[in-house]
């Protein structure tokens, strides 16, 4: 099934049936078969999703590779690009959660630009204090923006399955549970 917007898409019940058994929850994780689609409901609160639902690329590599990051960042980046696994997913959001995501994106970008401005103030005033405050602000706002705006993130990607964290309880509760 295509994940692009389709005005002639089948009704929700048909979509739900089609996605049946293709994704399920394991405790706080959402597990989906590669190539399957998620239910067309907000992954945070389980309300009906806004359409079109955007398809997003996600990447994952084994956390052990992070050791390289501390040895050499350029080598880590090259290795990460080679070993990373990728998947296409289309996690849906409702109006409220899309707005929340946009707010965090605006906070992240706004704070980043403010920090950049402070770095330039520091340079023009030859003040290392403003430069450091600007640099730290840029980093903090990038982190706040990234974490606040992310929808879901992978904890593992294999050839067969994608495991995702970050779904809300209401959405997870609506999925079949598999316990170990």
Residues lying near Zn ion in the complex (CB under 5 A): 42, 44-45, 47, 94, 97
Cα–Cα distances in angstroms (integers) from residue 32 to residues 19, 29, 38, 82, 172, in the given order: 10, 10, 8, 24, 12
CA–CA distance, 115 with 56 (Å, rounded to integer): 29
The answer to whether 178 touches 21, Cβ cutoff 8 Å, is no
Cβ 137 to Zn ion shortest distance, Å: 30
Whichever of 42 and 157 has its CB closer to Zn ion, that residue is: 42
Distance from C-alpha of 18 to C-alpha of 112, rounded to nearest angstrom: 42
Contact 65/94 with Cβ under 8 angstroms? no
Supply φ then ψ for residue 146, to 5 degrees: -65, -45
Task: Write down the least CB distance from residue 104 to Zn ion, Å.
Answer: 14
Q: Is 82 exposed, middle or buried (0-12, 13-18, 19+ CB in 10 A)?
A: exposed
Distance of closest approach, residue 128 Cβ to Zn ion, in angstroms: 44
In the bound complex, what is the minimum distance in angstroms from residue 8's beta carbon to Zn ion?
A: 26
Edge-first strand order for the sheet with 23-26 is 23-26, 29-33, 161-165, 153-157
Q: Which residue is nearest to Zn ion (CB)?
A: 42
Nearer to Zn ion, 157 or 175 (CB): 175
Contact 110, 141 (CB under 8 A): yes
Residue 25 or 44 having the CB closest to Zn ion: 44
What is the smallest separation between the CB atom of 166 and Zn ion, expressed in angstroms? 12
Our CB check for Zn ion shows the closer of 118 and 164 to be 164
C-beta of 84 vs 100, nearer to Zn ion: 100
Least separation in angstroms between CB 108 and Zn ion = 20
Tell me whether residue 53 or residue 157 sits nearer to Zn ion (CB atom).
53
């Amino acid at each position: 099934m295509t994940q692009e917007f389709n005005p002639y898409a089948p009704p929700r019940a048909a979509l739900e049936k089609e996605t049946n058994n293709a994704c399920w929850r394991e405790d706080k994780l959402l597990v989906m078969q590669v190539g399957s689609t998620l239910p067309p409901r907000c992954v945070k609160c389980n309300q009906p999703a806004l359409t079109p639902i955007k398809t997003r690329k996600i990447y994952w590599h084994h956390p052990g590779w992070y050791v390289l990051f501390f040895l050499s960042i350029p080598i880590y980046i090259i290795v990460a690009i080679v070993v990373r696994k990728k998947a296409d997913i289309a996690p849906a959001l409702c109006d409220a959660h899309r707005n929340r995501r946009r707010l965090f994106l605006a906070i992240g970008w706004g704070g980043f630009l403010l920090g950049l401005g402070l770095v330039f103030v520091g340079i023009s005033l030859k003040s290392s204090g403003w430069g450091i405050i600007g640099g730290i602000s840029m980093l903090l706002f990038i982190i706040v923006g990234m974490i606040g705006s992310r929808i879901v993130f992978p904890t593992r990607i294999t050839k067969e399955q994608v495991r995702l964290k970050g779904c809300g309880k209401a959405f997870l509760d609506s999925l079949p549970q598999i316990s170990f």
